[in-house]
Homo-oligomer: A and B are copies of this chain.
Amino acid sequence: MTRLLERNSERPLYEQIYEQVRDDILSGRYPNGKKLPSKRALAEQLQVSLITVENAYSQLIAEGYVRAAQRSGYFAAYSGEAVANPGSKHRKLPENIKRDESMPQTGQQEFVRKSAGEEIFPFSVWTRLMRSVILEKGTRLLQPVDNGGAYELREAISDYLYRARGFYTPPENIIVGSGTEYLYNLLIQFLGRDKVFGIEEPGFPKLPKIYALNNVRFEYIPLDNSGMRVDELENRCVDIAHISPAHHFPTGIVMPISRRREILNWAESGERYIIEDDYDSEFRRNGKPLPTIFGSDDFSRVIYINTFSQTIAPSVRISYMCLSDELRERWREKLGFYACSVPAFEQYTLARFISEGYFERHINRARKRFKRVSELSDRLITGFGNVKISEENAGLHFTVKLTENVSEIVEKCAKCGIKVTPLKSYYASGTACESALFLVNYAGADEEKLIECLQ
C-alpha cells in the first residue's frame, strides 16, 4: 500500500486519507468485511497525527464505507462498484467553474458568537444587502422573474451546492419556490397522482398531511439502522421514495453508502423516483458534508430538495429543487406555466448573501453554536443519570432513552428552550416505537441558561 499525501495541498490531509481509503474500498482493494489498518498503524505509516487518521475514519464511518467493531478494529463495509462513485455529476461541470475547496471546517474560528443570547444570524449584513439591492435594482424589482426563479439566485445556489454539497447542477435545473410545503405540492402534480409515495416512519408529521390532502396513495415505510427499508418499498409497490438520507428526522440516522446505492438501484429498476430531502445537511458538524444521492444519479431518478427556512429564518420562505436535464424538460412542459411564488426582492437579497460568502460563514457559525448547545444539552440530560444518548453530530436534534426522572428532565430542558418529546409521536402508529425514546430538539436552546443550569 503506497500512499502519497500532498503535504502542501490546500486540501486537508484527513480528506486525502479519507479519499484514498474510500477509493480502495470502491475498487475492491479492500473487499467488504476486510480489516483495515488500525488508526495508530496508519498514522505511523503516513507520518501524520493520530487525530488526522481519526477524522478520516470518522468520515468513512459516517458515510458507511467503514464500520467500527468494538475492541477489534475497523472493517470495510461496502461492496464497491465503480458506478457508486459519489459525485458523478462532477463530470458535467463546465470549465468556467472552479471548485472552491475552502468549505469551512470545524476548526475555523471566524465569526464566533460573542454572547450566547445574541441572535447568530448576521442581520445587519442582511439588511445592508437589502438596501443595496433596492438601490441597485431600482424599478427592475417590479419586473417578474423567470418562472423557475431569479437567475442570479439559481446561479448562487448552483455554485454553493458545488462547494458545499459536492455536486454540480446548472442554474437552469434549479427551481425556486416559497417553502418546501409548496414544492411538495408541486412535486405531487409533477410526478403524478396515480403514483404511490413512500414516506419515512417515523418522520416529519406535516408530510403525511400534505400527501393526504392531495389524495395520493402513500405508504409509511419503516426504517432499520440504515434508514428506509428497500425491501418494504418493493413489498408495498412504492413508486416514489421520499427520504432524508443526510440526517433523518427524528431518529438522526445517516444513510450509509450501501443503502444509498441500494435505494438508487431500486429506483433505476423501474419508473421510480427518489425525493432527496436534504433539509438540515448544512448542520453536519464533523468532517466534510456527506455526498448526496442526487450527485451520483446518472439516470434522472433523483430530485434534490432543500430550504433556507431552516438555515436563515423561518420568515424567509425560500426553498429549491434540483432536477436532472431530463426531468427539467418535463417540468417545463407540465408545470412551466406556474409563476415563481417568491418575491423578486427576497431572491436578489438571498443571491447576494450566498454569492458574497455570508451564507457559508453563517452556517459555519451556526454549526459551532449547535455543537456547543448539543454538548451542553447532552450534559444536562446525562446529569440525571441512567440515560442513553444517540447523537450523530448533525442537525438540530438527537434522541435519548429515558427511563427515570422523565418529567424532571423535560421540565429542566424546557427552561433552557430545549424541547423533549416522545419519539412515538412521530410514528403514524404510536405503538411501533419504544416508549422510553425521546427526541431532544435544541434548535431554540438558550445557551446562557444552559450554562447556568449546569453550574
Q: Which of A163-171, A292-300, A333-341 contacts B (4 or more CB under 8 A)?
A: A333-341
Main secondary structure of the interface of A (DSSP, over half): loop
Interface size class of A (residues with CB under 8 A): 35 or more
**What residues of B have a CB within 8 angstroms of the CB of A245 in the complex?**
none
**What residues of B have a CB within 8 angstroms of the CB of A234 in the complex?**
none
A412-427: CB near B (< 8 Å → 1, else 0) gives: 0000000000000000
Chain B, Cβ-Cβ closest to A313: B142
Q: Identify which of B138, B142, B182, B346 contacts A345 (C-beta below 8 A).
A: B346
Q: Are B317 and A179 closer than 8 Å at their CB atoms? A: no
Tell me the minimal C-beta distance from A2 to chain B in angstroms: 52
**What residues of B have a CB within 8 angstroms of the CB of A313 in the complex?**
141-144
Q: How many copies of the chain does the oligomer comprise?
A: 2
- Asked whether A265 is an interface residue with its Cβ less than 8 Å from the other chain, the reply is no
- Asked whether A429 is an interface residue with its Cβ less than 8 Å from the other chain, the reply is no
8 Å CB interface, A163-220 against B = 178-179, 181-182, 185, 189, 193, 206, 209, 213-215
**What residues of B have a CB within 8 angstroms of the CB of A144 in the complex?**
313-315
**What residues of B have a CB within 8 angstroms of the CB of A131 in the complex?**
131, 134
Alpha-carbon separation in the docked complex, A398 to B316 (Å): 39
Alpha-carbon separation in the docked complex, A213 to B336 (Å): 12
Chain B, Cβ-Cβ closest to A189: B213
**What residues of B have a CB within 8 angstroms of the CB of A141 in the complex?**
123, 313, 315
Chain B, Cβ-Cβ closest to A185: B185
Alpha-carbon separation in the docked complex, A130 to B342 (Å): 17
Query: Which positions in A face B, CB cutoff 8 Å?
Result: 119, 121, 123, 127, 130-131, 134, 138-139, 141-145, 178-179, 181-182, 185, 189, 193, 206, 209, 213-215, 309, 312-318, 334-335, 337-346
17 further A-B pairs in the complex, CB-CB below 8 A; given A181-B338, A317-B339, A342-B343: A131-B131, A145-B315, A178-B342, A179-B339, A181-B339, A181-B341, A182-B182, A182-B341, A185-B185, A189-B213, A193-B215, A209-B337, A213-B334, A315-B343, A315-B345, A343-B343, A346-B346
